Structure 1
Amino acid sequence: MNLDPSLALAQVQRMLNDFLRLLPAMVLALVIFGIFFLVARTVRNLVRRVSTRSEAHRNVGLVLGRLAQWAILLLGLLIALVIVFPGFSPGDLITALGISGVAIGFAFKDILQNFLAGILILLTEPFRVGDQIITGDFEGTVEEIQTRATFIKTYDGRRVVIPNADLFTDKVTVNTAFEHRRSQYDVGIGYGDDIGRARELILEAVRSVGGVLSRPEPDVLVVELADSTINLRARWWSHPTRIDVLQVQDRVLEAIKMRLTHEGIDLPFPTQVLLFHDQTE
């Protein structure tokens, strides 16, 4: 098969002429889209800044900011396409999306699920940025809630990215949902000790610790008559963050141990008595 070089050259020349004819429109379209991109970022940041002034509407502001950003970007894209291709109309895009919508839905099913779950999480606010949560095998502080995933910083300094669809369908424990959080610890005393006296000493020790809230009041309950101990459960309230809970618990346990030991209350440990019999008898 013989190729005519003149025909190939003419085709290349025609393509080059078409490109040069479209070049001003392409440059203008890029400039227009760039302006819309800057406007979209500005609107998103403005909505986010306004929403952060009210803690109750912070997540709603994030949703509105992102939706506004994507709407402005879509509008800028449509205008840029009309500038480059004058025969193009938004109706053509809608028709194309309608025809291929089912295929796109199957192809991006996981992405759409995470997107919708992220919107619902931001709107319903089961937790917020800064909350300390437990989900699955992960526990940490919520750093950011995006429309695709939620970022959690664990207490040992790692970042966990969890798809929003998983958070929306799985169980989530929000440790900082309320102002106060209760902690408890079981203390075993001897059967020969006075339960009322031990209860009073434990309460005094708990109340003396800084960080233990006076309202709700701490209490001590008898929870078990074990093999070698009478188990008393000390319960107290503190601020809900993990660092507060751990530090208060450390001081409470130290205070209980020191107070009971000082007052002569026995803190027994499990013991076993082994009897050996002479098998020849």
Structure 2
Amino acid sequence: MEWRKPIFFLALLTCFACIETTWSQEPPVSERETAPISQTSSAQEDLRIKNRLEEIFAQSPGLEKVSVKVEAGVVVLRGEVALEKYRQNALETARKVEGVVSVQDNITEISDLKKSLTPSFQKLRQRFYSILSQGPLILIAAVIVLLFWGFGRLLTQWNRLFHRMTSNPFLAEIARHLVRGFLFILGLILAFDFLDATAFLTTLLGAAGLVGLALGFAVRDVVENYVASILLSVRQPFSPNDLVVIDDLEGQVIRLTTRATILLTLDGVLLRIPNAKVFKGVIFNYTRNPLRRFDFEVTIGTDQEIAKVQAIGLKALKKMEDVARDPSPQIWVEKLGDSRIWLHVYAWVDQSQWDWFKVKSETIRRFKRAFDEAAVEMPEPIYNLNIRDRSAGPPKKGQEKLTHDEEEALNESMDLRPSLVMDKQIQQQKVMSEEPDLLDSEKPKE
């Protein structure tokens, strides 16, 4: 949930403020190391060394149990410490006091868990008291962050502003997130500046930059896919229901999401293609241009008059209302063989009114019918050897041809308009899915 984000950053802000306050209250190390201790006489010097070390150990975390004995400038340290670093700190402190000749280490490191954790608990207690003392400032800083966060939420709910910036809903949503994030970060910067903790903010931003760089390499494919989604939503290379081929993957477009392009293949299979692959791939769009050409080959015998056969074929094509008149259909001689001639037929279909596959199928059927009526021979290089018994009677007749009335009835029953089967399935997929569609039918197309 989005309300958890500002709470998390406020808790982080509080911790950083406490650390800044605690560290700022500790005296610099250089001041402790360079403070000289002057002594005047031997007896008084030993006493003052002892008193000075006891005062220092009493104020140093982890050294409260260390006792000091001084004789003729020789310091003997006894007692218990929880960690090795505390023992080293006591020895270094004793050696730096003016007038100390040598230091004898009789300090023991205790293994009791409770005693070992006591200095840490004391430090935590000091941090807690520091939080309480800085409470009003932290509260004001938290209010600053919440105000900027709330203003960002309120501003991003102004839909008209972002629709004026861009009509693309995907880009408008990205703009919302950028504005909201910018205002929230600005509030954090002001809050840290109010707490005089800008050094921690700089460290935090640097760490965030390194983490972002590492994540960028780790999720490079995800980022590439997301950027491709933005570019595809701007370019709009296809529209919903367009029949496309993307790197040998064919289907009708259902939607474009932030991760993938959803297609429905002609077999009714749902296909998801990553947008990075779509953006870099070769796209064939068969629907963008309503006119689409189809072609097929026919063969005739070498004894046939080519011009006459071409005229018969063109006449059959022009009788079909589903075949486009402009561009006009054409029949060209493709190849001449020993026993037959290859003709190549080209014709166009207006896909906004007719189904391309159905028109091509119907054209081939009517072409064959016209050739049969004109007795145009269409030989095949196949040799049939029939061996039969003459006593078995005459051979069986082949399949009878359709009568004129049957042919007309068949032509009337053929519906060559675009099929609505795929459109219905695509509409069902759109209703079932909750993912936003980045394709805009009203936007300029590529």
Q: Give me the TM-score of the superposition, normalised by structure 2.
A: 0.47
- Is 1:270 matched with 2:381? yes
Matched-pair contact (CA < 8 Å) for 1:33–1:80: no
Measured in 1, the distance between the counterparts of 2:187 and 2:252 equals 42
- Is 1:146 matched with 2:257? yes
Matched-pair contact (CA < 8 Å) for 2:145–2:184: no
* Residue equivalent to 1:112: 223
| SS of residue matched to 2:212 | helix
Matched-pair contact (CA < 8 Å) for 2:153–2:180: no
The alpha-carbon deviation at position 36 of structure 1 amounts to 6.6
The alpha-carbon deviation at position 266 of structure 1 amounts to 1.2
* Residue equivalent to 1:128: 238
Amino acid at match of 1:70: H
- Is 1:247 matched with 2:358? yes
Give deviations 1:129-157, integer Å, cap 9, x for gaps: 22321023421122222343212222222
Matched-pair contact (CA < 8 Å) for 2:300–2:377: yes
Q: CA 1:76–1:253 in structure 2 vs 1: closer, same or farther (change >3 Å)?
A: farther
Amino acid at match of 2:253: V
The alpha-carbon deviation at position 238 of structure 1 amounts to 1.1
For residues 65-104 of structure 1, what are the structure 2 equivalents within 5 Å? 65-75=172-182, 78=185, 94-104=205-215
The alpha-carbon deviation at position 253 of structure 1 amounts to 1.1
The alpha-carbon deviation at position 215 of structure 1 amounts to 0.7
* Residue equivalent to 2:267: 156
| SS of residue matched to 1:266 | coil
Matched-pair contact (CA < 8 Å) for 2:171–2:230: no
Q: CA 1:215–1:190 in structure 2 vs 1: closer, same or farther (change >3 Å)?
A: same
**What RMSD, in angstroms, separates the aligned Cα atoms of the two structures?**
4.1
- Is 1:209 matched with 2:320? yes
Q: CA 1:262–1:45 in structure 2 vs 1: closer, same or farther (change >3 Å)?
A: farther
Measured in 1, the distance between the counterparts of 2:145 and 2:205 equals 22
Matched-pair contact (CA < 8 Å) for 2:238–2:288: no
The alpha-carbon deviation at position 229 of structure 1 amounts to 2.6
Q: CA 1:245–1:36 in structure 2 vs 1: closer, same or farther (change >3 Å)?
A: same
* Residue equivalent to 1:188: 299
Measured in 2, the distance between the counterparts of 1:242 and 1:142 equals 19
Q: CA 1:38–1:81 in structure 2 vs 1: closer, same or farther (change >3 Å)?
A: farther
| SS of residue matched to 1:156 | coil
* Residue equivalent to 1:54: none
Give deviations 1:49-88, integer Å, cap 9, x for gaps: xx4xxxxxxxxx2453343243245357658978999969
Matched-pair contact (CA < 8 Å) for 1:129–1:145: no
Measured in 1, the distance between the counterparts of 2:268 and 2:286 equals 18
The alpha-carbon deviation at position 257 of structure 1 amounts to 1.0
* Residue equivalent to 1:58: none
The alpha-carbon deviation at position 24 of structure 1 amounts to 10
Q: CA 1:219–1:78 in structure 2 vs 1: closer, same or farther (change >3 Å)?
A: same
Amino acid at match of 2:319: S
Measured in 2, the distance between the counterparts of 1:33 and 1:72 equals 7
| SS of residue matched to 2:355 | helix
| SS of residue matched to 1:269 | coil
Amino acid at match of 2:368: K
In structure 1, list runs of 5 or more residues that go unmatched.
Answer: 52-60, 275-281
Matched-pair contact (CA < 8 Å) for 1:148–1:164: yes
Measured in 2, the distance between the counterparts of 1:227 and 1:113 equals 58
Measured in 2, the distance between the counterparts of 1:24 and 1:247 equals 69
Q: CA 1:43–1:140 in structure 2 vs 1: closer, same or farther (change >3 Å)?
A: farther
The alpha-carbon deviation at position 26 of structure 1 amounts to 11
* Residue equivalent to 1:173: 284
The alpha-carbon deviation at position 217 of structure 1 amounts to 0.8
Amino acid at match of 2:346: R
* Residue equivalent to 1:56: none
Measured in 2, the distance between the counterparts of 1:234 and 1:215 equals 15
| SS of residue matched to 1:115 | helix
* Residue equivalent to 1:57: none
The alpha-carbon deviation at position 242 of structure 1 amounts to 11
Q: Which runs of 4+ in 1 moved over 6 A?
A: 23-34, 41-48, 79-93
Q: CA 1:247–1:77 in structure 2 vs 1: closer, same or farther (change >3 Å)?
A: farther
Amino acid at match of 2:314: L
Percent of aligned pairs with the same amino acid:
25
Matched-pair contact (CA < 8 Å) for 1:209–1:248: no
In structure 2, list runs of 5 or more residues that go unmatched.
Answer: 1-112, 386-446
